[in-house]
Structure 1
Amino acid sequence: MSTHEKRRSKLRQLLRRQKIDGLLVTSFQNVTYLTGFTGDDSYLVVTADDAVLVTDPRYTTQLEDECPGLRLLVREPGERILPTTAKLARKLGIGRLGFEEDSLTVGALRQLSEAAKKTEFAGQAGLVESLRAVKDKGEVESIRSAAHIAKRAFEVVRASWTSEATEADIARELEYQARRFGGKCLSFPPIVAAGPRAALPHASPTATRVGDHDFTLIDWGVFAPLYASDLTRMVFHTPPSKKMAKIYGIVLEAQLAAIEAIRPGAKGEVVDAAARDVITKAGYGKEFGHGLGHGVGLEIHEGPRMGRNTEAELVPGMVVTVEPGIYLPGWGGVRIEDDVLVTKTGYELLSDVPKSLESCLL
């Protein structure tokens, strides 16, 4: 049984628990996860004993290469995907068909219901995502590779750093170097924020010159090719001030404490608290205004989540970011982020960009 067949088999177990006859998979990332198909504009219908991909002629050759043996329903030119999918549901005799309520629009559901009136549609949330949260060995290696490519791109950017470069220049160079080292692209628009702009957790790169400030925060990642990495590092243009050294030390201590708290069975809120307690005791609790981290995989943000009131437990195979931060408006901010695998006995760092205070100095 192939990797993708095993994943569909696990999904069928979930369908039985939900008492539905099948699932209409409309999230393209979930289609990729269950089939290996890397295109788009295609839906997958999974039943207790079948799996059919509703697609179109543009992808016939690609599907033969990526998904040999997968049953296809190829639409004719001009034939729309929703009526074709409804026709398939009728042909398969599906009485109760689940659909991904986080992906399918209300309008699309209405069209399906009108075209397949004998089929009951039941909204489902997070079925495939729950499987995606736990990575297999191949997925872990893909994320590790994505983190390594991100590291190499960052090293080149640091080595070629000039005070005249703008935040936008650095963002573009990160993209170029990521592709040069084998990445498909950056996994999200990078955050490059110099000086006071580092107080914005999601700052967009601007024409601000990095040399006009003492430090720059860089948050970036790579798709290589399907799986994402996500890292954050600080770059100091001048020796860090006493204030920077203090703030950076607190954030690093918080991050290391949280990483050490990662193990099977640990709740997301407990790992979050390991970092948040360090920052709060240092007097900066209100300046850490976001959750500790999130899962990474086929998407840059996926399950599990680590933050306050997150009771879900970590299990081996999950890959999460650990990214505490302190943000002081008018001064700047510090965030440190790594990708961490939950192992059977604890954790493993998948990203290894140096992060000591000294290593951040150009």
Structure 2
Amino acid sequence: MKNQFTSRQQLLKQALKKNGLTALLVLGHENIRYLSGFSGNAAYALITAEESVLITDYRYFGRAQEESIGFEVVSRDRDSETLGQCINRFLTTNSQLGFDAAFIDVALWQQVASELTSHTVTQVTGMVERLRMVKNDWEVEQIKAAAAIADEALRQTLPYFKEGVTERDLALELEFRMQKLGSEGMSFATILMFGERCALPHGSPSERTLSKGDFITLDFGAVVNGYRSDMTRSYVLGKASKKQSAIYQSVSNAQQAAINLLKAGVDCLDLQNISQKVLDDSGFGKWAGQGLGHGVGLFLHELPFINKNCRHVLEAGNVITIEPGIYIPNFGGVRIEDDILITQNGYEVLTQAPKPFELEG
């Protein structure tokens, strides 16, 4: 465990040198956790060639000391020292400072930058995220554990899918069971919809009740040691119509066509194209969702993103989702999603929940 954090810090320092930077201010909590092991918030990480500093305050100081590996932990008195002043303590004259631009609001950055005028400040994006794309064995085990919790929670919740139950009640039941099984909260706000509302790719659970013949879509995930799972299953309560079955089969075929290609060295654009071709050939392609999938780890949605603009070639250790979907307004929709580990010669599906389309009412 200890070695993986120091190794990540060294890789980032090498990336700084390669990009002409002498320091990087890391602001995203998940990126900080990846580099240091600190699982709290209200913290900032400053990485230089000589040192790694975690800046927090009295609320998290003890916890940061316990959890952080390879970092000097500094407790900043927010009443007497600004963040910019604190950062300046650790910078050499005229540092080339990059900052994690995706994780700071304009007001805070303007205040910080105004106190770092003796340095050259440059926004950077994706520097830590690119390191995080390839998971080590420990990271994969955390995602597997999160996926197993989600699998079991769904198994326990399926008997509650009966006529008259509401979307909200089922979502709460599923979330309760994930947490009882050990999930650290939810991977994201659970998506659970019935009937025509399944045409909303990311709708929120409502008081809508379940009836025979309704589509059901649920998209959810668990969290273990900060690592997330992400799974979608689609059903019909009772007997599916011919159109419902055709939509489901089209999405299932599109997912499997992409999965069949998975291994290190495959271009993500090829995955997107083959999945879309299956949907187009089925006649439902015009209602397809944009993008086939994404990386998953400490972030729910992280590199690589699999879409028509993707330029990533899969590497062993990538953990991605494959999730084609069809969404027909005022009718309903289907999405099937699994978390998948890329290996040198193929793949391993991490989400194991079965995929029956018709549920007994």
User: What range is the shorter-chain TM-score in?
Assistant: over 0.9
**Alignment correspondent of 1:10:** 11
Tell me whether 1:179 sits opposite 2:179 in the alignment. Answer: yes
- Dislocated runs of 4+, deviation >4 Å: none
**Alignment correspondent of 1:249:** 249
Stretches of structure 2 that go unaligned for 5 or more consecutive residues are none
Provide, for residues 317-340 of structure 1, a one-character-per-residue CA deviation record: whole Å limited to 9, x for no partner.
111110001112222111100001
CA distance in 2, matches of 1:222, 1:161: 20
Per-residue deviation, 1:34? 0.4
2:217, 2:235 within 8 Å by CA — same for their partners in 1? Answer: yes
Tell me whether 1:38 sits opposite 2:42 in the alignment. Answer: no
CA distance in 2, matches of 1:255, 1:243: 18
* Cα distance change of structure 1 residues 94 and 66 upon mapping to structure 2, 3 Å threshold: farther
CA distance in 1, matches of 2:109, 2:189: 32
2:5, 2:70 within 8 Å by CA — same for their partners in 1? Answer: no
Provide, for residues 161-206 of structure 1, a one-character-per-residue CA deviation record: whole Å limited to 9, x for no partner.
3322100111111110110000011211111111111111111111
Aligned pair count?
360
**Alignment correspondent of 2:297:** 297
1:261, 1:274 within 8 Å by CA — same for their partners in 2? Answer: no
Higher alpha-carbon deviation: 298-307 or 65-74: 65-74
**Alignment correspondent of 1:22:** 23
**Alignment correspondent of 2:65:** 64
TM-score normalised over the length of structure 2: 0.95
TM-score normalised over the length of structure 1: 0.95
Provide, for residues 47-90 of structure 1, a one-character-per-residue CA deviation record: whole Å limited to 9, x for no partner.
11210111112222212321255212211252455234333244
**Alignment correspondent of 1:99:** 99
CA distance in 2, matches of 1:311, 1:138: 27
Per-residue deviation, 1:98? 0.8
* Cα distance change of structure 1 residues 140 and 228 upon mapping to structure 2, 3 Å threshold: same
Per-residue deviation, 1:114? 2.2
2:50 counterpart SS class: coil
% identical equivalent positions? 36
Where in structure 2 are the equivalents of 1:1-362 lying within 5 Å? 2-68=3-69, 70-76=71-77, 78-90=79-91, 92-93=92-93, 95-211=95-211, 213-357=213-357, 360-361=359-360
One-letter amino acid matched to 1:304: P
* Cα distance change of structure 1 residues 167 and 356 upon mapping to structure 2, 3 Å threshold: closer
* Cα distance change of structure 1 residues 128 and 81 upon mapping to structure 2, 3 Å threshold: farther
1:210 counterpart SS class: coil
2:250, 2:279 within 8 Å by CA — same for their partners in 1? Answer: yes
2:46, 2:87 within 8 Å by CA — same for their partners in 1? Answer: no
Provide, for residues 90-118 of structure 1, a one-character-per-residue CA deviation record: whole Å limited to 9, x for no partner.
4x446111111112333333322322222
